[in-house]
Structure 1
Amino acid sequence: MGAWAWDAVAAELRVAGHEVHPVDLGHEPDATAESHVDDVLQVLEKVGPAVLVGHSGGGPVCAAAAERARDRVTRLVFVDTGPLPDDVPQVDFNPPEAQEWIRARIADHGGVQPMPTCAEFAQLGTSTAGLDDETFAELHARALAEPAGVVLTGARRGTPDPTLPKTVVACSFTQAQARELIAAGVPAFAEMAGPEWSFAELPTGHWPMLSEPAALARLLAGLGDPA
């Protein structure tokens, strides 16, 4: 997706008095997870300190960016996602069968991953709840194919700062499910065991910025307000 996907959330936040800077992550053929980190860092240099929000594949990118620009980030928010360990690619967040499907799809489409259909997302285990047919059709039509480097490479991690507050907005999974995965040591969740982590639930599908924009904006506004 592009920054456009955050239009409704951004509008709500601006009405509430917040400054909002949705970030377009590059879709050039040579784009990688590392180049996406650079995209975020370029914005942080101009607008921080800020609450940094990452959704889906943007979560691991924002985790790495926050570690390189700690003085520019006041809180890190993961919307239906989480961090990944050092240099672990986005594709590894998926079960083995889904990983195989994604790699084959990239190979079949000349080195890019087109956005899956609604039926394909269901097979991958990605929830499209909350999106009506018209909204999903628009999302699918406007989506850009992801370059292989974005999907198959990981971001270089630094050392997570335990003094940086981190919040997971759980949409297609629950806090209880996340706690089970933390206890099991699943790499994408194990890091969330620290005391600086909190959870907020917004039950919907994987795209709350489209299915529940007003609710997501209220939640993010609350996280950004001083304690």
Structure 2
Amino acid sequence: MARERSEEDQIEQPEQLTDEHTPEPEPVYTAEIEEPSADEQHDAEEALHAEADSAEALHAQIVGLHEQLVIEKDMALRAQAEAQNARRRAQQDVERAHKFATEKLLQDLLPVVDNLERALATIDAGDEANKAIVEGIELTRKSFVDTLTKHSVEVVDPAGEPFDPELHQAMTQVPNGDVEPNTVLDVFQKGYRLNGRLVRPAMVVVSKAP
């Protein structure tokens, strides 16, 4: 037992800390925040107002540019539509010029056909002496009319048809109970149309109620 105590006595005991070994806390330094001056606050507020005004001005400019873009786009579409209409009108004018270029010539040639038809009406076709003349005039008239038909000329010969004021010109009215009123009884002079457009109306006699 005495030996065990001597071994325990030999174990070093930890040294007791004294106040001399306790580390002293480091001092804490606090930074002092300086309050902005009145001029600095005023300058900051003016800077904020300037930024706000600049943003509003930029927004107004964007809105203005958008409106101007819409106007310019509308004007461009209108100009494009007008150009298309102008091209279409020009094309129609060219087509009409091609279709009715011979109208003046036709008006000058129609009296020739009228004279041939009057000659046939005045010659006695039953006389053998006139047979060759009648055949020659008839062949000439038929060749002339066929040529006109080939160039889109249509004869208006409305005998027995209802009177049409857009195609016929009434020379006189004759009472007639055998047909309906406003029926074409006789044709003084045939009319003609070129590509559907009336060049000369037919001169006719029209019936009326007795």
User: Do Structure 1 and Structure 2 share a fold, with TM-score over 0.5?
Assistant: no
Q: RCO greater where, 1 or 2, for CA within 8 Å and sep 6 or more?
A: 1
Q: Higher Cα Rg: structure 1 or 2? A: 2
TM-score, normalised on structure 1? Answer: 0.16
